[in-house]
A and B are shown apart, each in its own frame.
Chain A
Amino acid sequence: MVKPQLQTRKLNLWFGKNHVLHDVDLSVYSQKVTAMIGPSGCGKSTLLRCFNRMNDLIPETRITGDVLLGDEDIYKNGSDVSRIRAAVGMVFQKPNPFPKSIFNNVAYGLQIQGKIRRSELEERVEQSLKAAWLWEEVKDRLNQSAMSLSGGQQQRLCIARALANRPKVLLLDEPTSALDPQSTAKVEELCLELKKSVTILIVTHNVAQAGRISDYTAFMYLGDLVEFDKTEKMFTVPADKRTEAYLTGVFG
């Protein structure tokens, strides 16, 4: 078996007294798209946010178990959270570009790392926008506000912004749920292109979307990772009754 890019071992998480994740063992493989599905409140977004330690922002969060990025335990004492978050890009449900220019949005991640030559910065911004399939649409108006873009463009800008850091992993938290069907299709295609260079973990409550773009699927229910397998396999012969019920729309 290949070594996973991301891995959790016996991961448990509490918000205060609320036990949200139970003994989760998940492996996310390099250069694959892994989808996390499950009904609302099952803990899939919370699990996603463990991989870049965004749950740290919520007071009274307690975590046990390991979360590995490559070989590194990212919850180890003294680990550099900023560096981890730069290496694990994240795109949110609602497109959230900064109220800055298109250029400065993409440049942000690089500028906060420290001094960077202007020519190099411009090159990296261009590369990232190209990688997110946005370059052709915005190359003539890089200095305009990112808020002037359409929702779908804004979301691809957010992907470009995350890619500028050259992350190993891209976490997508229901990235298309606020988008129209065409923009959604574009983001989905983009995921298939991006997985050549970056590992993708996507939360979605659109089962069909998971079927279309993912290589692996994890089904979560009430804080448990019920089933994890190749998407093809899970979608044809699910091992667990709950998975089958969810996939066939009995509940959701």
Chain B
Amino acid sequence: MTPSSNRPTYYEELRQKGYSRRDFMKFCTTFAAYMGLQASGAAQVAEALKSNSRVPVIWMHFQECTCCSESFIRSSHPIVADVILDKISLDYTETLMAAAGHQAEAAMHKTMEDFPGEYVLCVEGSVPVYEDGVYCCIGGRSAVDILQETAAGAKAIIGWGSCACNGCVQAAKPNPTGATPIHKLVKGKPIIKVPGCPPIGEVMAGVLVHLVTFGRIPELDRIGRPKAFYSKRVHDTCYRRPFYDAGLFVESFDDENAKKGYCLYKVGCRGPMTYNACGVTKWNNGTSFPIQSGHGCIGCSEEDFWDNGPFYRRLTNFPGFGIESNADKIGGVAAGVTAAGIAAHAIGTNLRKKKLIDGLIAEGIESDQALS
């Protein structure tokens, strides 16, 4: 992003807010570490924030609960909320902006007109597409329309949370409103998926800081998530992993093993199939994360996690066979039916092929007697 003489840089705004250079450098170092940069990365972040002016951001809220925003403003470093979000709110975000009604819409359009191809579009929430999108309207317009309009001039799009990335709860079966993740609606724009319900605040900030520092989107995996935060399973970074390998499992939440802090695999922990940074970055200033608090991971950053229940059982329901069905129950029934079929066939064989079998026996006996 090009420095602009008439707009203050991030650093200048920080200083105006009363942060010291020391605070600033701490912030840069912390986020360079979160982003997985090498030691010199902190200097790169600092340099970028000193010379770049604020990236214009439009932050849309569609079908969502605002937990992503809540998570973001609670990220561990105050500069995140104070400066990055504060400045974001200057452009457009329904939840936190001071403007309302026509003023707000005007602010959004001004950003779109002033910075075409430069602003970052952040989307929180999925977009309902049934009945022409009437299930989510803002200012009299449907979310589908607004998304298409704002996406057209965006430099990049960030999908905050599971709603924007895979539809989350409102897209769970039967998905009455046709809730659709944004990557299925917007084509031809780089989309960064930051799933989670909500995503970790530091992860969200890390993605934004990466955009500001390097002027391009971070490296993404095949599903479109930043590799720096979503390349490992919660299971692989879990401090209870040794109990898993040792085969020490919690059998029920009130047993002795639960008190000993054994692995929660058998009570439905989704850590082994969930790609997220919870085990490393943790939550609430690195205080804890669900597994540390004795509750299994529910896989909130994975697609269709609501449809792959129940949360407290290892084997999930098998689709199409009703609740309480799982692969083992269905397989067991199939094996039983097979065994019964075989028994019937074996009896049938003895009845229907009697002549053949008797023939073989007679032939064998004949040969035997011929010898004696």
Do the two chains belong together in a single complex? no
Residue ranges of A at the interface with B (Cβ–Cβ < 8 Å): none
Residue ranges of B at the interface with A (Cβ–Cβ < 8 Å): none
